[in-house]
Structure 1
Amino acid sequence: MTPPVCLLLPGQGAQHPGMAVALYDREPEFTRVVDAFFDLLGAEGRTLRAEWLSGKASELFDDGTRAQPLLFVLGVAVGRTLCHHGVRPTALLGHSIGELAAATLAEVFDLPGAAEVIASRSAALAEAPAGGMLAVAARPEQLGEFLDDLVVFGGQNAPVQTVLSGPEHQLAAVGAALTRAGMAWRRVPARQAFHSPAMSVAVARLTAAFGRISLVAPRIPIWSTATAEVVTPDQAGSPGFWAGQLSAPVLFWPALDALLGTGDHVLVETGPGQQLSTLARRHPAVRGGASRVVPLLANRPEKDWSTWCAARDQLTELASSAANHS
């Protein structure tokens, strides 16, 4: 029996120039969703679409006002295109902005509502202080001495990969201290201190935006990286729940572990970049072969189409086989 499919939807840091452009005009459903979203954003959407389709990155490409709307719409468009080909996920797990893409796929809010929220999110991020995130090869409990009121625990992506987040000046000092302590780390491609108190003003604006749109219970279970549990109907209907994730830690590994604790899954990453696939392959359930990982896009845009076609065909064959045996 084929294990159920869970979509993994990436967040900030996964972006790269040209990501998923190869699907545009080749996959009609993908093109329809992307165009609909950019049209809903108006002039800013037209600018984003032109920059994305050019395959080139402006100096603001890693800024949340650019990267996050793109990552959001690509997650939704790839997910809906996969469904269009007959592959129906039974669970969703999104990383940071990916959780909003998951909520859209689960129909917690519709695409026009999502566009209103994403526009408000971008406006709030444009006013956020300069900051960033560090991915550190260490467990959270090993990093206490490097944290304070400004540089905080921003998430856990794997057992020995912890994210720290904070304002730029303080974060740079922490990076230097980590180096002196012999700890390996890298900058996450981001220009804001996501998942830290620096986002508190943005959270307030985002809460108001969520309060203006309709929120309903998910039609597909969402494993939240805010709680490492399935989103409840009450949480789904709460503007504060969705907005608060901007300043709360991302518990990707605990959420993945909880999901796989319920049984075997085919973990399908909507891309780009395969970062979540790389993390998921570290899980014992995947290493042991009980669950498997299928990335839909490649690490480089020139390989996106061939990667997509191979993964799409593999998954549609599995879905067809499962339907014939049901």
Structure 2
Amino acid sequence: MAKGPGVAPPHPHGLAAARPRRTACRYGAGAADPLPGFKAHLAEMSERLEPLLHLSLIDALNGPGRDAAFWQDTRIAQPAIVAVSLACAQWWTSLGIKTDVMLGHSLGEYTAACLAGVFSTDAVLQIVTKRARLMAGMPAGAMLAVALDETGLNSLLLQHSELDLAALNGPRQGVVSGPADAIEALANDLKQRGIPTQRLRTSHAFHSRAMAPAASALATFLTSQTLNRPTRKFISNLTGTWITPEQAVSPDYWARHMLAPVRFAHGLQTLQEKGPRWSLRPARDTCSAHWHAARG
């Protein structure tokens, strides 16, 4: 339930937060001045990240010369996304807003897990930075959004065996992932069939078999980290339903999370069926960031 000064209790079912996974951020003093609380929380996240990234996130966001290519570098983008998301969440909490349940998209599940107590703030930033470096070291690849349902996508992938199902974002909103030449061939094939597609701005084939060595290395790394049973409810991208305590503390779960399709549409359905009626999510005007669909 959302509570706070001047905030009337919403629907009795409570409040949900949805969290993004990949973004290109633009942030400036002018945009942030109306939100000094958020700016302070982001500055704290930047300080925590600086020893890991060897750069200041605040300076990168405010300073000149940071083009789209800089933010598409997954080694920078992934930690930046989590930092901005956590800053948003901390800002909302300072306003007296508390979510009952959470749903993240891919990387966004790490933010949800952190807010649920699975990872500490410093741990999640360290883990996501390690995850990003591991993924960046994998072969280059590509991703394609396709206007087909899960059945249609699975049928399609039987004809394009080099590709994997990467995400299900809606009833007819899927994403496939794999080598760039195979993605290009699929895009041409679907164009001839009149099926809408859109190439995503990614450097790698995220959520595909191409990430297997990175996933294995991440599982090994996580065995040295402290993972706690969640104290708040959030939805698993792997199943599209509520994560179990056993999943949340399992390094193997987070390794599979890197490889398996993001069942975001199923997660939304879970919220509609069992969760709250109100939702809250980081948005351009709220967090002074421009959120773009991409993968990472």
- TM-score (normalised: structure 1): 0.77
Aligned partner of 2:203 in structure 1 is 191
Aligned to 1:109: 119
Cα separation, 2, equivalents of 1:40 and 1:51: 12
One-letter amino acid of the structure 2 residue matched with residue 16 of structure 1: A
Q: Which moved more, 1:16-25 or 1:209-218?
A: 16-25
Select the residue among 139, 143, 148 that pairs with 1:138: 148
Matched-pair contact (CA < 8 Å) for 1:37–1:45: no
Percent identical residues: 26
Counterpart position of 2:3: none
State the Cα deviation string for residues 115-170 of structure 1 (Å, max 9, x = none): 22122112212211111211111112123353244211111101010111112121
After superposing the two structures, state which structure 1 stretch, 220-229 or 247-256, moved more. Answer: 220-229
Q: Structure 1 residues 65 and 262, CA, compared in 2 at 3 Å: closer, same or farther?
A: same
Q: CA contact under 8 A between 1:38 and 1:45: conserved in structure 2?
A: no
Distance 1:170 1:176 in 2: 10
Cα-Cα RMSD = 2.4
Distance 2:89 2:168 in 1: 24
Report how far residue 222 of structure 1 moved.
0.7
Q: Is the 8 A contact 1:150 1:197 kept in 2?
A: no
More deviation, 31-40/108-117: 31-40
Query: Does the 8 A contact of 1:93 with 1:102 survive in 2?
Result: yes
Distance 2:81 2:57 in 1: 11
Deviation at 1:27, TM superposition (A): 2.7
Q: Report the equivalent of 2:10.
A: 2
Match of 1:28 among 25, 28, 37: 37
Show structure 1 runs of 4+ deviating over 6 A. Answer: none
Measured after TM superposition, the shift of residue 34 of structure 1 is 4.4
Report whether the alignment pairs 1:128 with 2:138.
yes
Residues 197-233 of structure 1: CA deviation (Å, up to 9, x unaligned):
0110110121122222111111210111211111111
2:232 matched to 1:209?
no
* C-alpha spacing 1:264/1:112, structure 2 compared with 1 (3 Å): closer
Unpaired runs of 5+ residues, structure 2, are: 1-8, 292-296
Amino acid at match of 2:169: N
Question: Secondary structure of the residue that 1:186 maps to in structure 2?
Answer: strand
Distance change (3 Å), C-alpha of 1:207 and 1:25 = farther
Higher relative contact order (Cα pairs below 8 Å, separated by 6+ residues): 2
Partner of 2:88: 78
Deviates further, 88-97 or 162-171: 162-171
CA distance in 2, matches of 1:258, 1:101: 19
Per-residue deviation at 1:24? 7.3
Partner of 1:291: none
How many residues are paired up? Answer: 277
- Counterpart of 1:157? 169
1:41, distance to aligned residue in structure 2 (A) = 4.3
Paired residue type of 1:75: S
Question: Pairwise mapping of residues 260-271 of structure 1 onto structure 2 (< 5 A)?
Answer: 260-271=272-283
Give the drift of 1:253. Answer: 0.7
**Given the superposition, is the C-alpha separation of residues 131 and 116 from structure 1 closer, same or farther in structure 2, using an over 3 Å criterion?**
same
